[in-house]
Amino acid sequence: MHLRSIALLTVALAGCGSSGAGGTGGMTTQTTADAGQDAGPPVPAWTAFASRGTDSRWGVPLAYSTKSKTFLGFGGSQYPAAAPGGMFSLSMATGAWTKLTDSGEPTASWCSCTTYLPDQDQVLLFLGLGDSGPLPAGAWIFDVAGGAWSQISGAVPGGGIGCAATWMPGLKKAIVFGGLSATTGYSAETWSYDPAAKAFTKLAPAKSPPQRADSIAVYDPGEGGRMLMFSGTQDEITSAKHLSDLWAFDGTTWAELTPSGGPPTGRRVAAGGFDPVKRRWVVFGGTVETMDFGDLWLLDVAALTWTQLPGTGAPKARGFASAGYDPGTDSYFVVGGLQQPKSVTLTDGWKLTLQ
């Protein structure tokens, strides 16, 4: 079993899910096709942010606060410099990070996973890698309004490195799948977190996806409400172990979905954003270590179809970027990331609209 403590000696083998205050500057717009075109799939238009200065943080998964309408992310990596730690908010106007006032924060971490708890206005965080290697399994709560941290006691999922997590409104619980543990390796476990009870429960679904880490996951309000999970890896240094499957969890069990078209080539730490109204999932980039992807894919969840969109004007290929869908501007975004195999960190930010 390959553990990511080795990755701290060679960042090209590191893995997970990026940034800081930079100049706002001007913006350059690059459009892939005539905006008036209305036939066929949506036409992607990329808009580049100015550089965010010297802050090259990557590996920061994001949680969207529906109350404050902001994206929140913890820590990240600036290897070989020390991980910065702390909770940050991401500006949708400039692509810059702002550190929030917090107290009692956990150990600085990257390759963690996170999701937002809307009823409590809290962020659920699982620690991943620290500067000295894999961190002990631990789950934390960040209170957005108060800025205070608290650690969850009792049993917690062990695969905090690169796990997948999302909130399930119908259950009033968060669902957590997979990840990598320093002691037990890649996980195929499904856990739920009840914020009212402040406790985790290990579930026993009749069917489960294969073990993995570094997948991406979203909540889809259709089909009665379900968690969707795409891609990931079972061995970060072996490209044949990078996955391209799509799974759905309905609160009881998992089912593998088989869309027409595609799928994208197997990869990990892709950038993704999901529009819950149109039920469209945009997937950009990702890595197989020896190379990065710069392709752009659209999953129409209702029609269950993959479509590869034109790539003209797209950002550089990368993995480990921070990404999401901003409902306020009806746009997707990609911020920062890491280019393999030479471990080049990126400080750019991009918005994507589908016309």
Q: pLDDT, tens digit, for every residue of 193-247?
A: 999 999 999 999 999 999 999 999 999 999 999 999 999 999 988 878 999 999 9
186 in Cβ contact with 141 (< 8 Å): no
Can you tell me the distance from the alpha carbon of 235 to that of 268, in angstroms, rounded to the nearest whole number?
10
Note the Cα 146 to chain centre separation in Å: 25
CA atoms of 324 and 193, how far apart (whole Å): 23
Residues 315 and 148: their CA atoms lie apart, in Å, by 36
Q: What is the mean pLDDT of residues 113-142?
A: 94
> Which residues are within 8 A (CB) of 322 and not within 5 positions of it... i.e. 6 or more apart?
17, 18, 19, 58, 60, 61, 62, 71, 73, 90, 271, 334, 335, 336, 337
**How big is the chain by its Cα radius of gyration, in Å?**
18
* β pairing state of 305-309 and 322-326: unpaired
Q: Cα(30)–Cα(354) distance, rounded to whole angstroms?
A: 13
Return d(Cα 343, Cα 11) in angstroms, integer. 6
Most confident of 107-116, 131-140, 195-204: 195-204
Q: In this model, does residue 52 exceed pLDDT 50?
A: yes
Q: Which residue has the higher pLDDT, 166 or 355?
A: 166
The band of 22, judged by pLDDT with boundaries at 50, 70 and 90, is: very low
Mean pLDDT, rounded, for 56-74? 92
Greatest alpha-carbon span in the chain: 56
Amino acid at 179: G
Contact (CB, 8 A) for 49 and 61 = no
d(CA 245, CA 241) in angstroms, rounded, equals 12
The beta strand positions in 259-319, using DSSP E, are 271-275, 280-284, 296-300, 305-309
Map out the domains of the chain with their CATH numbers: 6-23+41-354 (2.120.10.80)
Confidence of residue 50 (pLDDT cuts 50, 70, 90): low
Measured CA to CA, the distance from residue 36 to residue 42 in angstroms comes to 11
Q: What is the DSSP string of 26-58?
A: --EEEESS-TT--SSSPPEEEEEPPP-TT---B
3-state DSSP assignment of residue 169: coil
CB 336 within 8 A of CB 62: no
Report how far residue 115's alpha carbon sits from residue 232's, in angstroms, rounded to the nearest whole number.
Answer: 18
247: nearest Cα among 277, 280, 207: 207
Instruction: Give the model's confidence band at 6: pLDDT under 50 very low, under 70 low, under 90 confident, else very high.
Output: very low
Q: Is the pTM for the entire model greater than 0.85?
A: yes
Q: Which has the closest alpha carbon to 235: 216, 215, 212? A: 212
- Rounded Cα–Cα distance for residues 325 and 281 (Å): 9
CA 253, CA 251: separation in Å to the nearest integer? 6
Site of tokens 């977190």? 193
- The span from the CA of 57 to the CA of 71, in Å, is 15
* Better pLDDT: 10 or 325: 325
Band of pLDDT at residue 51, cut at 50, 70 and 90: low
Length of the chain (residues): 355
Q: Tell me the C-alpha distance between 278 and 186, whole Å.
A: 33
CA distance 26 to 47: 11
Name the band, by pLDDT with cuts 50, 70 and 90, for residue 39: low
What six digits make up the tokens of 111? 């390759």
